[in-house]
A = this chain, B = another copy of it.
Amino acid sequence: MSIRDQQREAVIERLAGHLLEHGLARTSLRQLAAAAGVSDRMLLYYFADKAEVLAAVMARVAGELSVRLAEAIPDGAPLKPAELVRRAAAFTTGPEMRRFMRLWVEVVAAAARGEAPFPAIVAQVMAGFRHWVDGRLDLPEGADRAGTAAAVIAVIDGLALVDICSEDEIAPRMAAALSTLLAE
């Protein structure tokens, strides 16, 4: 592997941590380069342009998220929607995963603004989420699997969105209240 490719990997790794820590707040080329410990000139030597940097870093973050999701809620017997929501909510509101969800909300908003490369990233990650949920849903015959999967994701993402702009102590109460709202 060339030095260039090694550096690419190292930069992606460092920038994944940077994005998880600061969200999309410090993502100018010069700020990204500083966070990665390289010059902005070299960042554009390793990557074609800023969009490619962000796409590569987001792919890494998404991969890490899916690994952790698979660990937290492994394949096995399918779960009823309410139970899946409870377990996913407990996972995503945990101290480790909150920054993932926060970044996710920011990325969705950037995609809504049409800012490259986020629309493509969001489409891909969202499709992955849907597929993942669909594969773990225990639903009666004839139920709308895709609709239910979307609803499950909506609830999880909604928790994250409210979590972002609330005092810390409300999150567990919100999750608990949500749990009682869900049918068995």
Chain A interface residues (CB < 8 Å from chain B): 23-25, 81-82, 85, 102, 105-106, 108-115, 119, 122-123, 126, 143-144, 146-148, 150-159, 161-162, 164-166, 170, 173-178, 180-184
Number of copies: 2
Contact A154 B182 (CB under 8 A): no
Q: How far is the CA of A147 from the CA of B170 in the complex (A)?
A: 6
Contact B157 A155 (CB under 8 A): no
Q: How far is the CA of A184 from the CA of B109 in the complex (A)?
A: 33
Query: SS class of chain A's interface: helix, strand, loop or mixed?
Result: helix
List the B side residues contacting A150 at CB < 8 Å: 162, 166, 170, 173-174, 177
Asked, given contacts A147-B173, A155-B154, whether A164 binds B108 with beta carbons under 8 Å apart, the answer is yes
Q: How far is the CA of A25 from the CA of B175 in the complex (A)?
A: 32
Q: How far is the CA of A110 from the CA of B181 in the complex (A)?
A: 30
Asked, given contacts A154-B174, A161-B161, A162-B153, whether A112 binds B108 with beta carbons under 8 Å apart, the answer is no
